[in-house]
């Protein structure tokens, strides 16, 4: 390896910054540079390599906390504990991680590698929070191929951001010379090094490839000259040349391993029919270019840049080979219980039958682990005929589409396939399939609320008799259908029965829906403590298994929003409900969406934002009009509309007859806070009785009967804003 002191220096001077951004495309040696800097600096290091599966705050920070804990046993323990406990706010867990880092007391570096794979807004928001709360002795280094959506400009402006970018990471002439002449031992003069540098634009991966290749050529001068004059894409040119120069055996191995993506020596042995993969891999790893070992022990992958060319080349030379490699890999991985990896290979091989069978066998585990997106991804690769032959696949896809959310059309398509499967292959429709079919029909509520309740009872009955695996989910579907039907008693009892199931928490989707439904009912009845506990549990359950940006996440957010509204935190309620609405809104009208819009209309009315409330109500009404048999929604539409009309009338009359006095305005301003009447008196040096009489006068003048309505009305009339602005 070439030593690159200037990069180490750049990273070192970044020590004063909160965040160091190392941003460059693949093959720029980001990881190598940071590792080299660290080896010379020392101190504690927690290194986390992220992948697309980490797009969920709880999962993301669990990895970070685990890495921090590895630095010294116990540093991440409290954070990990928080992350496992229900109802935690992610900020609390981050605080604990920061406490752990601060407790360490010496220089501490947290590295997040491959951050470009994290795109979830919640994750990035939590990272922004962490950046702002990093202890003084700690620094955060982010390695990424694309600039993350963090407030970089703000950090830059405050001098809190250090950057190492592609132009810094590109090789200089001196570094290229060291690599090619001193390390690789190539007999090149200055102008020749210049040609190579210019042709590769200093791209480290390409220069390393060039060094490997030039070591194998007979006529060095000519090779350099030809390379310099060629217009082909530099990585393609070099991959081609380097492959040509490898021994036949190594080449055959590499081309095939590249097809595998991530692999172990054992997998290579099984798939490639050899027994020396481990030795071949360690040779290749020494070349430092083709094969990288991953942090997951024993797993390797071919450098992404090179894998692309290797795969394409193999497909050109031996067109059928990639398919049979995928096929053998699928079989081997399945025998090791690595289902997700196995299905990926089966799908790549186009083995619909195998994909369908694996999905059939493992769909329950995938659903419970929040892998609905994975189920859909594989189910989509299957032709209708294959889905119909595997009713469990059709049903799993229906459940997955429901849980992901806003996929009503796709959910109905798979439901249709399930029905055709039942008609065509009744013998494949056992008790389990019958039960799940009833469950998805009740949860989806496509045929109206009455039908959903009927199917829900049927699902529960079947589940209780013989299909325990779907009992919690069936009760969840039933509880929700009953809630929409307006039968709160029965809904409460169904959801409660689900929670009594000893295995309930280990079946997160159904469990979360039950908790959320209980929260909604408790909030409707003003049982705020109970409601809050259920809503928090729903959210924590969802957080553990899947992204909050899903139907399931929306169900939890709706519950939290309803509880906040009942508690009087209208701004918080609106935020949660608006968030939920985004992941339920679809191009088809649904009961879920209509109900959320009504909740939003109600909260916006109470905040005095009458126009926006009217807009939400209009959209809700449109959806309800499209839906037949929508249970309690039509009367709800009417009552929300009535309340809104009243509010509008008041607002227009409302030029109120008598304005609050200065003293009353001072009290009104404090009514918008969390202070009690007694505390308000304390702040204003008034007796509790005086405060109470002011409050009565305020209510009378504003024509309201509660504190929150008074605040909402005052906001709508800009009474608070005027009072606050002079300060």
List of residues contacting another protein (CB under 8 A): 25-27, 145-146, 203, 205-206, 230-237, 239-240, 304-305, 308-309, 312-313, 315-316
Q: Which is nearer to another protein, 350 or 426 (CB)?
A: 350
What the block records as the tokens of 12 is 């070192």
Provide, rounded to whole angstroms, the least separation between the CB of residue 305 and another protein.
6
C-alpha to C-alpha distance for 39 and 43, rounded to whole angstroms? 9
What SS3 string covers 285-350?
HHCCCCEEECCCCCCEEECHHHHHHHHHHHHHHCCCHHHHHHHHHHHHHHHCCCHHHHHHHHHHCC
Cβ 79 to another protein shortest distance, Å: 32
Query: Judged by CB, which is closer to another protein: 202, or 561?
Result: 202
Residue whose entry in the numeric block shows the structure tokens 């459940």 = 399
In this structure, are residues 522 and 486 in contact, taking their beta carbons and an 8 Å threshold? no
Residues 6+ apart with CB under 8 A from 605: 613, 640, 643, 644, 647
Residues with Cβ within 8 Å of 145's Cβ and at least 6 positions away in sequence, in order, are: 23, 24, 25, 26, 114, 116
- The region that residue 704 occupies, defined by phi over 0 for left and psi between -120 and 50 for alpha, beta otherwise, is beta
Nearest to 712 by CA among 601, 610, 567: 610
Phi, psi (deg, nearest 5) at residue 64: -60, -45
> Which CB, 27 or 660, lies closer to another protein?
27
Tell the smallest beta-carbon distance from residue 119 to another protein (Å): 10
Q: Is the Cβ of residue 244 or residue 431 nearer to another protein in the bound state?
A: 244
Using an 8 Å Cβ cutoff, are 587 and 409 in contact?
yes
In the complex with another protein, the residue whose CB is nearer, 347 or 460, is 347
Q: Which residue has the tokens 């009305």?
A: 713
- Distance from C-alpha of 359 to C-alpha of 340, rounded to nearest angstrom: 9
291-293 β-sheet, strand order? 262-263, 300-302, 291-293
At its nearest, how many Å lie between another protein and the CB of residue 651? 36
Tokens of 325: 């490699």
Nearer to another protein, 133 or 145 (CB): 145
> Residue 189 or residue 233: which is nearer to another protein going by CB?
233
Least distance from another protein to the Cβ atom of residue 304, Å: 6
- Strand order through the sheet with 161-165: 44-49, 108-113, 138-144, 19-23, 161-165
Strand (E) or helix (H) holding 144: strand 138-144
Answer yes or no: are the C-beta atoms of 495 and 538 closer than 8 Å: no
Closer CB to another protein, 303 or 534, in the complex: 303
Handedness of CA 597, 598, 599, 603 (dihedral sign): positive
* Comparison of 205 and 672: residue with beta carbon closer to another protein: 205
Q: Cα–Cα distance between 365 and 359 in angstroms, integer?
A: 10
Query: In b/e form, how buried is each residue of 429-444, taking b as 16+ CB within 10 angstroms?
Result: beebbbbbbbbbbbbb
Tokens 């530099």 map to which residue? 234
User: Residue 51 CB, nearest distance to another protein (Å)?
Assistant: 14
Question: What's the alpha-carbon Rg for the chain, to the nearest Å?
Answer: 31
Q: Measure the CA–CA gap between 264 and 257, rounded to whole angstroms.
A: 10
Distance from chain centroid for Cα 221: 52
- Least Å distance between CB 116 and another protein? 9
Structural element, H or E, at residue 141: strand 138-144
CB of 196 to another protein, least distance (A): 15
Tokens 């990639």, located at residue: 322
Residue closer to another protein, measured from CB, 314 or 449:
314
Min dist CB 263 to another protein, Å, is: 19
Return the number of the residue (144 or 541) whose C-beta is nearest another protein.
144
Q: How far is the CB of 209 from another protein (least distance, A)?
A: 11
Q: Shortest gap between Cβ of 145 and another protein (angstroms)?
A: 6
Sign of CA dihedral 650, 656, 657, 660: positive
Between 209 and 556, whose beta carbon lies closer to another protein?
209
601 phi-psi bin (left φ>0, alpha ψ -120 to 50, beta other): alpha
Token reading at 509:
């989707």
What single-letter DSSP state applies at residue 183? I
25 vs 654 by CB, closer to another protein? 25
Among residues 517 and 550, whose Cβ is nearest to another protein?
A: 550
> Minimum distance from CB of 235 to another protein (Å)?
6
Q: Which is nearer to another protein, 307 or 670 (CB)?
A: 307
- State the nearest-atom distance from the C-beta of 83 to another protein, in Å: 30
CB of 549 to another protein, least distance (A): 15
- Residues with Cβ within 8 Å of 708's Cβ and at least 6 positions away in sequence, in order, are 568, 570, 606
Shortest distance, position 236 Cβ to another protein, whole Å: 5
Per DSSP, the three-state class of 240 is helix
């Amino acid at each position: 390896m070439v030593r690159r002191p200037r990069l180490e220096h750049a990273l070192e001077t970044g020590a004063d910054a909160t965040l160091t951004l190392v941003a460059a495309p693949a093959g720029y040696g980001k990881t190598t540079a940071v590792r080299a800097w660290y080896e010379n600096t020392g101190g504690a290091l927690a290194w986390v390599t992220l992948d697309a599966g980490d797009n969920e705050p709880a999962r993301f920070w669990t990895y970070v906390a685990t890495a921090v804990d590895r630095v010294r046993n116990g540093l991440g323990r409290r954070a990990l504990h928080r992350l496992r406990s229900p109802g935690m706010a992610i900020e609390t867990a981050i605080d604990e991680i920061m406490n752990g880092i601060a407790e360490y007391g010496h220089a501490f570096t947290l590295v997040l590698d491959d951050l470009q794979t994290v795109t979830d807004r919640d994750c990035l928001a939590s990272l922004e929070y962490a950046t702002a709360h990093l202890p003084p002795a700690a620094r955060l280094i982010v390695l990424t191929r694309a600039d993350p959506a963090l407030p970089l400009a703000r950090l830059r402006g405050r001098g809190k951001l250090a950057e190492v970018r592609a132009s810094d990471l590109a090789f200089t002439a001196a570094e290229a010379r060291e690599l090619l002449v001193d390390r690789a031992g190539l007999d090149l003069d200055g102008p020749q090094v210049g040609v190579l540098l210019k042709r590769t634009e200093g791209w480290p991966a390409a220069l390393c490839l060039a060094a490997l290749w030039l070591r194998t050529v007979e006529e060095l001068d000519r090779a350099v000259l030809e390379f310099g004059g060629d217009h082909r894409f530099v990585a393609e040119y070099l991959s081609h040349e380097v492959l040509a120069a490898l021994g036949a055996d190594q080449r055959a191995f590499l081309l095939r391993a590249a097809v595998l993506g991530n692999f172990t020596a054992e997998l290579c042995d099984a798939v490639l029919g050899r027994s020396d993969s481990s030795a071949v891999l360690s040779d290749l790893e020494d070349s430092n270019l083709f094969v990288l070992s991953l942090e997951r022990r024993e797993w390797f992958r071919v450098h992404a840049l090179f894998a692309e060319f290797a795969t394409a080349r193999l497909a050109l030379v031996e067109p059928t080979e990639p398919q049979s490699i995928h096929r053998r890999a699928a079989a081997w991985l399945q025998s090791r219980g690595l289902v997700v990896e196995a299905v990926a290979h089966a799908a790549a091989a186009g083995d619909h039958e195998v994909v369908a069978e694996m999905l059939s066998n493992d769909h329950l585990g995938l659903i419970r682990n929040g892998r609905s997106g994975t189920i859909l991804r594989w189910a989509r690769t299957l032709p209708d005929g294959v889905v119909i032959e595997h009713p469990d696949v059709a049903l799993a896809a229906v459940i997955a589409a429901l849980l992901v959310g806003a996929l009503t059309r796709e959910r109905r398509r798979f439901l249709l396939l399930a029905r055709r499967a039942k008609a065509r292959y009744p013998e494949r429709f056992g008790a389990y399939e019958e039960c799940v079919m009833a469950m998805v029909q009740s949860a989806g509520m496509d045929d109206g609320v009455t039908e959903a309740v009927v199917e829900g009872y049927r699902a529960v009955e079947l589940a209780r008799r013989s299909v325990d695996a779907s009992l919690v989910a069936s009760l969840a579907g039933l509880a929700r259908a009953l809630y929409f039907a307006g039968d709160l008693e029965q809904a409460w009892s169904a959801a409660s029965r689900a929670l009594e199931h000893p295995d309930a928490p280990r079946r997160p989707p159904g469990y979360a829906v039950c908790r959320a439904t209980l929260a909604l009912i408790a909030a409707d009845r003003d049982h705020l403590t109970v409601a809050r506990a259920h809503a928090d549990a729903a959210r924590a359950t969802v957080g553990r298994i899947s992204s909050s940006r899903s139907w399931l996440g929306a169900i939890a957010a709706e519950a939290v929003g309803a509880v906040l509204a009942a508690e009087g935190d209208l701004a918080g309620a609106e935020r949660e409900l608006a968030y939920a609405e985004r992941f339920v809104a679809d191009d088809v009208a649904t009961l879920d969406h209509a109900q959320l819009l009504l909740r939003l209309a109600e909260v916006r009315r109470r905040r005095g934002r009458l126009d926006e409330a009217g807009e939400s109500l209009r959209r809700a009404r449109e959806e309800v009009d499209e839906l037949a048999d929508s249970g309690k929604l039509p009367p709800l539409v009417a009552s929300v509309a009535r309340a809104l009309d009243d509010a509008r009338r008041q607002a227009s009359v409302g030029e109120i007859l008598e304005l609050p006095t200065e003293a009353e305005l001072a009290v009104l301003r404090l009514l918008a806070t969390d202070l009690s009447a007694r505390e308000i008196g304390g702040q204003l040096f008034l007796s509790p009785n005086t405060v109470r009489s002011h409050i009565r006068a305020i209510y009378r003048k504003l024509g309201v009967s509660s504190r929150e309505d008074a605040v909402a009305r005052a906001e709508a009339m800009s009474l608070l804003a005027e009072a606050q602005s002079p300060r």
